[in-house]
Every structure is written in C-alpha cells, then in structure tokens.
Amino acid sequence: MDKIFITGMMFYAYHGVFPEENRLGQRFTVDIVLEADLKEAAADDDIDKSIDYGAVYEATKRVVEGKTYQLVESVAERVADEMLTAFNSVERATIKVIKPDPPIHGHYDHVAIEIVRSR
C-alpha cells in the first residue's frame, strides 16, 4: 500500500483533563500517514485520483480546533474517523497527536498518542 505523510501540522486547542487546559488552551501537533493505492493517480498525473493534502489539513484542523475533548486519544480517534469518511481511497490511517506542553512536572520532549484505524 502506498503512503502519504503529512507531519507537523500545528494547532491551538482546548483539550485536556484539567480545567486550566480547557480554559487556556495549548499547542497540539498532528502527524498523519494515509495508506491508499496511488498507482492510478501517479500514472494519470491526476489529483482527483489521489488525496488532496490541503483537504487533509483542513479536515484535521476542523476536528482538532473544533469540539473540546478531555483526552488526546479522543482527538486522534475523531481525526481517524474523518480521514476514513472524507477520503474514500484511504484504506488505513495512522494518526499521531502530540501534546508538547502537558501539565506534567518533569523534563521531557512531549507526550503523544498514536492510533491506527482501517476500513
């Protein structure tokens, strides 16, 4: 299966378990890998037979910056649902939601959740 990678998409949203996360918001980064058969799109050089990266970004933005969730797991699940619903050629979606600045005391780069959903 062919893969499209769209990584490092940045959003500002209000997801989190703690009230201050819902009130103040924070940064989120989303990485997506979409698996689809891209042979026909490549052979015909036809965007209509591929997946529009801009549409993927906008769909992701609507989910991440839309409804507030307590868990990044829920955000990832909704993004995966959107990818499989909006893009018929996607057979499998890997969604990674990164929370760079969660309210955890300690030294770390970030926390993240990654899910894989298929048709």
Query: Looking at residue 32, which CATH number applies to its domain?
Result: 3.30.1130.10
Q: Is 67 assigned a catalytic role?
A: no
Q: Which of 31, 53, 58, 57 is nearest to 41 (CA)?
A: 53
pLDDT at 24: 95
How many structural domains comprise the chain?
Answer: 1
Report whether pLDDT(103) > 90. Answer: no
pLDDT at 81: 98
- Averaged confidence pLDDT in the chain: 96
pLDDT at 113: 97
Which domain, by its residues, includes 86? 2-118
Q: Are 43 and 23 contacting, i.e. CB atoms less than 8 angstroms apart?
A: no
- Identify the three-state secondary structure at position 75: helix
Within 1-119, residue ranges assigned H as helices are 19-24, 39-44, 53-64, 72-86
Q: Are 49 and 69 contacting, i.e. CB atoms less than 8 angstroms apart?
A: no
Structure-token pair, residue 26: 């924070």
Q: What is the pTM of this model?
A: 0.94
